[in-house]
Each structure stands twice: as structure tokens, then as C-alpha cells.
Amino acid sequence: MNKHILSFLSVFLIFATLFPLKNNYIDKNNQDIHAEELSVSIDKRACWISFLDIEEFLMDLDEASYRKKISEMYRNIKANNMNTVIFHVRPMGDAVYPSDIFPWSVYISSKRNAPDYDPLLIAIEEAHKCGMFFEAWINPYRLSRNNDTTEAYKLTEFYGQHKDIILEYYNVDGELCLSLDPSKEESKELICDGVKEIVEKYEVDGIHFDDYFYVDGMGEGLTVEEKMTYVDDMISTVYKNIKDIDSSCFFGISPAGNIDNAMDDGADIKRWMSEKGYIDYIMPQLYWTDEFISSDGEEIALFSERCQEWQSINELGIPIYAGLALYKAGEMYAGDTGWGKYDDNLKKQCDKAYQLGYSGYALFRYAWLEYGGSVNELDNLNNFVETLSITVVPNDELVPVQKNEESRKDEDYEKEKKINESEEYICNYDKVKYDLYCQGLDGNSILIDGRISGIHGIFKGIGAVRIRLTDELSGGGVEYRVHSVLGFWTDWVKDDDTAGDKTSTYLIDGIQIRLYGNAYNDYDLFYRTGYFDDSYTTWQSDGGIAGDIGIKGAISSIELKLIKK
């Protein structure tokens, strides 16, 4: 799909986006879509638009009314410092678009009649016009949620066709529910075909699953390991199918925030966060404050504890986004008193998540942006986010200008060719040195002369960098600065000074380096960044930005090559 092109602005106030510094949508014919309306930031800040929101605000509208209302919803989301929507396109074995597999959703069309327009196509178009990234949210297995919806779903053609692979179970309220049977190969094929249908037909930026795997009442008699085996097979196949169609389309999951409970339901979280080929990000539903009351009356900092637990199992270093409970704002809960006592819970949770290396958050759900009870919480969260999200690049700084895709490819090719054809960097191996302060190493630096430095290929990030040239290159030097995952550039430093946070509390996801003086006249310094998944950015030089800021998370290694001009 190749929707996003690097762009850098000189002075600006930025707010949340999913993929920072990649702010031009490109359709499949390489045409810009409202690029000027997109803005730049460090992370994903999303709003879930649930089937309940669709039912309340979008159901049974004509095309003009639907387009008007959904645009209004997006503007509201954007005004609250978010620019990603996670839109419920398949709530319960149904679809809010014309599907060859699933029936129309009763939440978009109450009688399951096909409207004379495509609601999903319009939802995506309007999101992109508004500068919003769009992820298609799917419940993979769930077909109904209570007696009434079960009775209604049994009237669909889908139920008659696939009755042999549909489970009946009773939920916690004793009501009859339906689900695809995760143990059946045909269930996996239906889910995968449904995902492929979306990715092939629509310009979605991601596919998003939530926490409905083996819920209470399903899978009686199965062990946790058996449940996870069936779910793993489905998840890995979905991931592969998405990447085969569009490698730029992200696949993420939002499991229950209690890790043990999520795994009991068949969500093999520890595997997904330690082995490649399952997901691109995780978004745990962390719906507690730090004044949670346990069953024995003890107050527990549950949000912070769970936040830390998720980060501790993230061996791959995939982006983690905190799912936050906007719907609880201002409400009184006897077992979680923080919601009723304070109006800055979301702000404090966001702050804690960023401190622990999270890459953003999502708010559940849209309706509470329109209701009054969450106003103060949203104001406090927005004030905090806006403070984090101000990036000022002085006009006299070296800022790369935007290039079209073709010129970027040509430039990358020329850099790669010069590096590959030159043996100069071998003889200059000891003329540039750099230390990296790496996460989890008690603040100690790793010193490597030239080549690859860091902890490439495992989940640890870099917090700070020192770079220097040796005395043999006197009469000039090197200056550099780094980009924090919190959304700001450090000041430029030079010649062995530290750029970044030595303690690695805040990691870096971008770097600029340039030579000065005689060194600039005599040499080219090429550099690129590496990540936990053994991937690298393209080579940069002379102050270019290296790092897929906000996409892959923190940098885990840096490679420098000094070549004589």
C-alpha cells in the first residue's frame, strides 16, 4: 500500500498519530490524500468506535446523514488529541460492509438490509480526509452475546450454512450465546477469508482483534494449552495473510488486562510477545486505577502493576499501547475508588505508561467523548498530552526536506551503492567510536569501535548515545541529537557528550548525526538504526533522520560507517 512518506516540518504543535514522521497517505495509484491535513507525533492515540457507538450514532442513516455524522465523530476524536480510529467492522459474525462471507450487521442496518452505500468505504475515506488512521476492528469468533441476539442470528443464512462449526454456550448471566468453534479448521478459514476480504478491498491501516477468544462457557473440557494451540494457529495465519496482501498493514490485538485471565481464555500472549509472526502490537485493556481495592480490603496500585507486568513479558519489544477506560471516568466504583475520587486518572495513567516505555494509548469508547461525565478527565489528559507533544525545530537547524517516493528510492540506492563499493570504512574502523546506554544494563555503556553497536536482535532499547572521532581526525568533529519516545528532540551535542537519558528510563527512537569542520570536508559519515527484529532503516547522512519513529519502538542498535570523500 505504501501509504506513508517521511515529512518534516520546521516549527509546529503536534498531536497524536499512529506512525510519526510518516504523514502522507498514498492510495494504490500513488495519489496523495489530504496530506496537508495530517500531523506528526510519536505514538498511536486511538479511540475505539464500538458496535454500541455504531448502533447509537450511525445505524439506519441515509448516505448523506451517515457521512455527516461520522465526519463529526472524527472531528471530535481529533479535537481530543487522537488520530487513530479503531472501528468495529465485524462485531458478531456480521459486517458493516457488503461482504461475500458474513451477513449485514444489525448495528449498521437494523433489518440487515443492504444500504445503498458502503459504510466502511465512507468511514475510511472520511478518516483519511480528516488525517485519521483507520484500523478495522474484528471479533473473530463471537456470533452473539445474549438470548435475543442468538435468536436473531439463527435466522441468518450464515448460521444455516455453518451450523456444524458453531458452538452454543451460556454466558456469565446464563444467556445462550453463539461462537465459531476455534478448534475447527473451517472456523479459522472463515476468519482468515474475512480478514483477507477487508485488506484486499479497503485501504485500512490495520486489523485489530479484541479479547473474545475462549470466553467463559466456551471450550468446556479443554486445557489452556489446547485453547492456545487453536487460537495461535488462527492468529499466525491471519498475520501471514495480512502481510502477503499488504506488508504495511498492521495487525494488533487488545486482550484482557489481566495476563493470567487472558491466557486462560486462549490468548497466548507470552508467545505473541516473544516470537515473530503473530502480531505487530499489543493493546492490553488496563481498566483500573491505582486505588483498586482487593477482596481482603487492601488498596493496590493495580494499573501500575499491570502496566509493568505487560512490559516485563515484551521480549520482542513490539509497541504496547494502554487501553484506558474512558467509560469509567467520574463513576463511583466500590472496588476501584480512584475513578470517583479524582478527575486526572487518565492523565496519570498515560504518564505512567510512557514512563514504562509504552507507545501510546486508546480510549474505550467513543460515546464518552459526547457524554458529560468525562469532561474533566479528558481536559486533564489533553493538557498533559499537548505538553508532551510540542516539538520545536528551530529554523536554522538542518531539517530534511520532503522528497517524493521515487527520489527517496534513488537517494537510498546511491548511498547503499557508495557504502557497498567502498572499502574505506574498513580502514577507518577505529576512527569513529560510539557508546550506547542500553536498557537493562544498569546504566553501563557498551563500547564498540565502528560497525554495529548495541544489543541488536533482542528486546532492549537505547536510552542515550555518545559519539566521537579519534585524534587522527582533528580539526573537525561530529555533532548529534536523539529523539525521545516521549516526542521531543534533545539539544545538539558534540564530540563525546551524551545525547539522551543514560538511565534508559526514556528510550530513543531516532537520531541525527552530522560532521563539521575538516571532518565534514574530508569524510562522509553514514549511519542507520537497527531493531529487535533484525531489521534496519535505510542509510542516512549529513543530519538525516535515522529511525522509524513511533513505528517499531526504541532503537536497539546503531551502525556508523565513515568513508573518505
Which of the two residues, 401 and 526, has the higher pLDDT score?
A: 526
Query: Which tops the pLDDT comparison, 501 or 181?
Result: 181
Can you tell me which residue has the cell 562522509? 524
pLDDT over threshold 80, residue 238: yes
pLDDT at 218 (0 to 100): 95
pLDDT reported for residue 26: 25
Residues 6+ apart with CB under 8 A from 380: 343, 344, 346, 347
Beta bridge partners of 151: none
The pLDDT of residue 409 is above 80: no
C-alpha cell at 307: 502496566
Rounded to 10°, the helix 224-245/185-201 angle is 30
pLDDT of residue 19: 30
- Model pLDDT, residue 416: 55
CA atoms within 13 Å, Cβ hemisphere of 384: 20
More confident site: 19 or 212: 212
Q: How far is Cα 453 from Cα 317, in angstroms, rounded to an integer? A: 18
Question: Would you state the pLDDT for residue 519?
Answer: 84
Cα–Cα distance for residue pair 50/366, rounded to 1 Å? 7
Distances (CA, A) of 216 to 183, 209, 287, 323, 434: 16, 18, 19, 22, 53
Q: How confident is the model at residue 412 (pLDDT cuts 50, 70, 90)?
A: low
Q: What are phi and psi of 119, to 5 degrees?
A: -60, -35
pLDDT of residue 381: 95
Give dist(CA 25, CA 533) in Å, integer.
Answer: 26
For the chain, domains (ranges, CATH) are: 45-139 (3.30.750), 284-388 (no CATH), 407-564 (no CATH)
* pLDDT at res. 405: 42
- CB proximity list for 94: less than 8 A, separation 6 or greater: 102, 103, 104, 105, 106, 107, 112
- Tell me, what amino acid is at 253? I
Is the confidence at residue 152, as pLDDT, over 50? yes
- In the chain, pLDDT over 70 holds for what percent of residues? 78
To the nearest whole number, what is the mean pLDDT of the chain? 81
Q: Which three cell numbers stand for residue 293?
A: 481495592
Whether the link from the prior residue into 466 is cis, omega within 30° of 0, is no
pLDDT of residue 13: 23
The better pLDDT of the pair 274, 451 is held by 274
Question: Is the confidence at residue 523, as pLDDT, over 90?
Answer: no
- pLDDT at position 532 is 67
pLDDT in tens, 24-43: 222 323 223 222 222 223 47
pLDDT tens figures, 427-443: 344 566 656 666 544 44
pLDDT tens track for 34-79: 222 222 234 789 999 999 999 999 999 999 999 999 999 999 999 9
Give the type of residue at 13.
Answer: L
Average pLDDT over residues 247-270: 96
- Segment 555-565 shows an average pLDDT of 80
Q: What is the mean pLDDT of residues 484-489?
A: 80
pLDDT tens digits, residue range 535-558?
Answer: 788 888 888 899 877 666 778 788
| pLDDT for residue 415 is more than 60 | no
Closest residue by Cα to residue 119 from 70, 82, 78: 70
Q: Which residue has the cell 457524554?
A: 371
Q: What pLDDT score does 228 carry?
A: 98
The C-alpha atoms of residue 19 and residue 83 are separated, in whole angstroms, by 10
- Of residues 521 and 231, which shows the higher confidence score? 231
- The phi and psi torsions of 373 (rounded to 5 degrees) equal -65, -20
For residues 388 and 125, the model is more confident at 125
The terminus-to-terminus CA distance of the chain in angstroms comes to 37
H or E stretch covering 362: strand 360-363
Q: Which of 11, 12, 47, 35 is nearest to 346 (CA)?
A: 47
Distance, CA of 237 to CA of 243 (rounded, Å): 10
DSSP for 448-503, written as a single string? EESEEEE-TTSS--EEEEEEEE-GGG-SEEEEEEEEETTS-BPPPEETT--EE-TT
Using the structure block, give the residue that is written with the C-alpha cell 457488503.
98
Q: Quick one: pLDDT band at residue 127, thresholds 50, 70, 90?
A: very high
pLDDT tens, 391-404?
Answer: 333 323 323 333 34
| pLDDT of amino acid 542 | 85
Question: Is pLDDT at 460 greater than 80 in this prediction?
Answer: no
In this prediction, residue 539 carries a pLDDT of 85
Report, as an integer, the average pLDDT of 339-361.
92
E strands along 11-143, which residues? Answer: 11-13, 25-26, 32-33, 44-49, 84-90, 133-138
Q: What is the pLDDT of residue 526?
A: 86
Q: How many CB atoms lie within 10 A of CB 221?
A: 5
Backbone angles phi, psi at 208, to 5 degrees: -130, 125
pLDDT at 476: 84
Amino acid letter, 565: K
pLDDT at 510 over 50: yes
**532 and 555 in contact (C-beta within 8 Å)?**
no
Calpha distance 223→11 (Å, rounded): 56
Please state which of the ranges 192-201, 261-270, 314-323, 380-389 shows the lowest mean pLDDT. Answer: 380-389
Of 183, 154, 59, the closest CA to residue 109 belongs to 59
